[in-house]
């Protein structure tokens, strides 16, 4: 019973761990230091799950998109574009909050205690647009235009930026293969610098990669307002007390913009709302009893219950 109770109280963390284990379930790959190349690698998984991870049984949609755009034979993939649109149309950035392996890594790093957290990052708002710049420049334009003599482009985001690929793919492969260690150069050093920087920042800032750098989150965020799964505010119950905004680690004013492109659907705002004013299109929350400690409650709050 205690196990079931713990799972329910940590449902999102449980789902994150289980999904990460399932999509990186080729444990023999970690043991041998080799990339799994089975048929399932032709399919994409929803999150930022590196193709080069020894345990990955599926492909990252961002890596796959770059590979297709950089190919001389294919400039458009109905499968990859359709996959991204389908996932986005159904759940939006729910993937970021519940299914992405690198999101899990950042969540765990942020839980490290005894280190002062930074809630408000300087230049936070303009920095949020950086992930869209990375999406357009590194994921789309560069693979299309910077090609070799054979007309083949590179997956530039994976090659130059992606810390998830470095952590889940590069580090395990290099540590298990002496031949790779012999050819480590400036590029791997640069990628390790980015990874270490993101790790350090993730201890102090909640999900800095998701907020400022992730092109996959940028794509899914575009669907948040239109996805089948979204948040709704019951205006009759909402007192605009601001508890949802203060609780949100992504700094979203939920009562104002419940379907912000920055929302990762973690559900913390739903749990903290004293009036049960936040619900989803899939499940309705039970009306909560009035919390007298909420400074934003109206005087007639209790009489409505």
When pLDDT is cut at 50, 70 and 90, the band that residue 155 belongs to is very high
Q: What is the pLDDT of residues 10-35, one digit of tens each?
A: 899 999 999 999 999 899 999 889 99
Q: What is the mean pLDDT of residues 218-244?
A: 95
Average pLDDT, the chain: 89
Q: Lowest mean pLDDT: which of 111-115, 135-139, 202-206, 287-291?
A: 287-291
As a whole number of angstroms, the distance between CA 246 and CA 55 comes to 38
| pLDDT tens track for 234-249 | 999 999 999 999 999 9
Would you say residue 47 has pLDDT above 80? yes
Query: What was the pLDDT predicted at 76?
Result: 63
* Whole-prediction pTM: 0.89
């Amino acid at each position: 019973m205690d196990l079931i109770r713990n799972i329910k109280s940590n449902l999102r963390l449980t789902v994150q761990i289980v999904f990460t284990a399932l999509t990186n379930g080729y444990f023999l790959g970690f043991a041998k230091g080799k990339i799994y190349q089975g048929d399932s690698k032709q399919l994409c998984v929803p999150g930022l799950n590196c193709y080069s991870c020894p345990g990955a049984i599926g492909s990252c949609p961002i890596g796959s998109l770059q590979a297709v755009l950089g190919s001389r034979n294919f400039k458009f993939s109905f499968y990859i574009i359709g996959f991204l649109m389908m996932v986005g149309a159904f759940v939006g950035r729910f993937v970021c909050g519940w299914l992405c392996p690198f999101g899990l890594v950042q969540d765990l790093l942020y839980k490290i205690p005894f280190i002062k957290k930074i809630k408000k990052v300087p230049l936070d708002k303009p920095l949020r647009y950086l992930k869209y710049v990375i999406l357009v420049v590194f994921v789309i334009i560069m693979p299309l235009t910077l090609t070799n003599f054979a007309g083949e482009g590179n997956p530039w985001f994976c090659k130059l930026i992606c810390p998830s690929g470095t952590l889940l793919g590069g580090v395990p492969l290099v540590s298990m293969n002496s031949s790779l260690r012999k050819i480590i150069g400036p590029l791997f050093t640069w990628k390790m610098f980015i990874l270490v920087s993101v790790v350090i920042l993730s201890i102090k800032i909640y999900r800095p990669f998701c907020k400022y750098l992730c092109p996959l989150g940028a794509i899914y965020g575009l669907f948040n307002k239109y996805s089948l799964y979204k948040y709704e505010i019951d205006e009759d119950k909402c007192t605009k007390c601001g508890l949802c905004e203060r609780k949100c680690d992504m700094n979203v004013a939920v009562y104002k913009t419940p379907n912000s492109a920055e929302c990762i659907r973690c559900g913390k705002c739903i749990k903290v709302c004293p009036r049960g004013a936040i619900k989803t299109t899939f499940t309705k929350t039970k009306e909560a009893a009035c919390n007298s400690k909420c400074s934003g409650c109206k005087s007639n709050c209790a009489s409505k219950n």
